[in-house]
Amino acid sequence: MKRNKTTKAFSYFKEKSSQVEIDGSMCSFGITIGSFHDKAWEIVEMLNFTIELARLELHEYVIYVEYYSKSQTCTFVFSDDLEIYNDAELGILSYEATKIKECAMKTIVQFEMFGGLDHGESTIPILSNRI
């Protein structure tokens, strides 16, 4: 495969430019992942998240993970099998939901989960210069 001669490196760093090419959907440990503008750092964070889930055998509770590139926010679709709250009235998360959120906190910079917007860490060293 040859690179398009008109492609210049700087075009990969524009707001809506794709940095990764994915034909169809991408799955990691049975979880479909997506990045609205195919940003490499977003995909890396989501892959790291799925790895953490799989290590804890919690991957079966997450169906889909997607980064909305413009807002730099990751969202999730959970399996109906996930019991989110032990006590919904008090807002106490179940063991599984707590562990899933901990995985996100370790691997994803900004995400919406269980009705709230949270800020976690990233395992990507160049995050201060997100591209």
Summarize pLDDT for 75-103 with one digit per residue, the tens: 999 999 999 998 878 889 999 999 999 99
Instruction: Kindly list the domain boundaries of the chain, sorted by start residue.
Output: 26-122
What percent of the chain is modeled with pLDDT above 70? 77
Inter-CA distances, 4 with 1, 7, 19, 98, Å: 9, 5, 14, 46
- Rounded Cα gap, residues 100 and 31, in angstroms: 13
pLDDT value for 9: 52
Identify the pLDDT of residue 69.
Answer: 76
When pLDDT is cut at 50, 70 and 90, the band that residue 128 belongs to is very low
The residues, any chain, with a CB within 8 Å of residue 17's CB and separated by 6 or more, are 11, 37
* Dihedral (Cα; 74, 77, 78, 80), 10-degree rounding: 160
Rounded to the nearest 10 degrees, what angle do helices 95-107 and 40-55 cross at?
140
